[in-house]
């Protein structure tokens, strides 16, 4: 019994202490909760981040809100700034059906103003039907007949002209400076119905190579070095601008994927600038050429044909197009031959992501470039003067 009484006796004060401590903790928690709650409300209301106790709060919610507002403001500013320079391009053509009835076939795309006297940039595939009539509708609703004045022989790009004055040209940016993850805005004539629709997203990737075709599958084209974005690019947006947050065009919308959501592609503006410059100077788009037909070399091709390198452009004849070396071309004059493997241009490797044709497009007609190539297992170099590409 004495032992039991001792245990009971000693346990009672411990219970009292525990209860007192619990009550004390609950009271202090309630007090601190009130203080903390008041401070939280104040922190949300006070952009300075100082709470009621005069302590600088580490919370960054107001800063985050400010950044969000700044980004939204940028989007709004760019849309207002650029929309007057974005136009809808419409096509119409009389077509006879199986029963001999004539109806008007219509299509549409987008373009943007590049000079104040009515020069407009768009995609080549937007104005590809030579039998169609084209018109341009400005953001203010005014409509003009349009004439195709130049078609790029290498890229999906064309220039059309309207009889208008005092237009607002778009400003060109530098697509080489754009980074993956950077915000972009797309403006276009969505579905050829919703003029100057705006979408935003980020650059998902650069240097994408794709094969693009129309909805009927009747035509296709290989496109290289494209900007990929998750900003929605819809049918009808083709030829419209992809913009940075400074309101500068850094790409021309050219394709979208129907097998996935929000995967679209744009031609970098830096490969279009020379075409615009050459048209303004000479009245036509001039592109340089080496004058060869070739097969892109990769590891699989190298293994199959036992080639000395796993990248480059293997010059070869074509059963449909003819000789791998065009007669009188820069390549012909420089002594290049069928069977040579061109591996670099001015030290930049030729590979699947950097085709020979695309590397040549970085230079102007008349430029001299150093071409590296393999012949009979030995690497050699030769200087080649580029001439105008003629098709």
Q: Which of 238, 278, 355, 372 is catalytic?
A: 238
CA gap 126, 307 in Å, rounded:
41
Compute CA 221 distance to the chain's CA centroid, rounded to the nearest angstrom. 17
Q: Which of 85, 88, 125, 351 is catalytic?
A: 125
Q: Give catalytic status of residue 91 as yes or no.
A: no
Tokens of 346: 């001015």
Output the CA angle 299-301-302, nearest 5 degrees: 60
Q: Which of 88, 91, 152, 156 is catalytic?
A: 156
Q: Give catalytic status of residue 125 as yes or no.
A: yes
The DSSP bridge partners found for residue 213 are: 220
Among residues 63, 35, 36, 37, the alpha carbon closest in space to that of 48 is found at: 63
Q: At what angle do helices 61-82 and 2-45 cross, to 10 degrees?
A: 30
Among residues 387, 355, 363, the alpha carbon closest in space to that of 223 is found at: 355
Would you please indicate which residues are annotated as catalytic (active-site) residues? Answer: 125, 156, 238
């Amino acid at each position: 019994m004495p032992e039991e009484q001792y245990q009971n006796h000693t346990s009672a004060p411990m219970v009292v202490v525990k209860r007192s401590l619990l009550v004390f903790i609950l009271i202090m928690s309630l007090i601190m909760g009130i203080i903390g709650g008041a401070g939280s409300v104040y922190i949300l209301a006070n952009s300075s981040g100082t709470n009621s106790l005069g302590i600088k709060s580490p919370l960054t919610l107001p800063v985050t809100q400010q950044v969000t507002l700044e980004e939204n403001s940028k989007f709004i500013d760019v849309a207002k700034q650029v929309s007057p320079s974005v136009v809808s391009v419409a096509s119409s053509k009389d077509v006879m059906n199986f029963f001999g009835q004539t109806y008007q076939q219509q299509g549409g795309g987008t373009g943007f103003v590049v000079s104040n006297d009515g020069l407009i940039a768009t995609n080549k595939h937007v104005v590809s039907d030579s039998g169609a009539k084209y018109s341009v509708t400005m953001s203010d609703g005014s409509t003009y007949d349009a004439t195709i004045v130049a078609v790029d022989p290498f890229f999906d790009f064309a220039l059309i002209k309207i009889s208008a004055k005092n237009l607002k040209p778009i400003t060109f940016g530098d697509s080489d400076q754009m980074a993956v993850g950077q915000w972009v805005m797309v403006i276009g004539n969505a579905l050829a119905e919703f003029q100057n629709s705006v979408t935003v997203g980020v650059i998902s990737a650069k240097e994408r190579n794709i094969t693009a075709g129309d909805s009927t599958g009747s035509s296709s084209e290989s496109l290289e070095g494209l900007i990929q974005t998750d900003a929605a690019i819809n049918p009808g947006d083709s030829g419209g601008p992809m913009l940075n947050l400074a309101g500068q065009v850094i790409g021309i919308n050219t394709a979208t994927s129907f097998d996935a959501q929000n995967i679209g592609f744009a031609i970098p503006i830096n490969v279009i600038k020379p075409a615009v410059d050459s048209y303004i100077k000479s009245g036509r788009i001039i592109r340089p050429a080496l004058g060869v037909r070739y097969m892109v070399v990769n590891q699989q091709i190298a293994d199959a044909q036992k080639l000395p390198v796993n990248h480059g452009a293997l010059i070869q004849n074509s059963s449909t197009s003819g000789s791998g070396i065009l007669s009188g071309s820069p390549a012909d004059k420089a002594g290049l031959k069928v069977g040579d493997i061109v591996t670099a241009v001015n030290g930049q490797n030729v590979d699947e992501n950097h085709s020979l044709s695309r590397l040549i497009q970085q230079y102007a007609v008349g430029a001299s470039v150093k071409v590296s190539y393999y012949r009979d297992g030995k690497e050699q170099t030769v200087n080649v003067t580029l001439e105008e590409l003629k098709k």
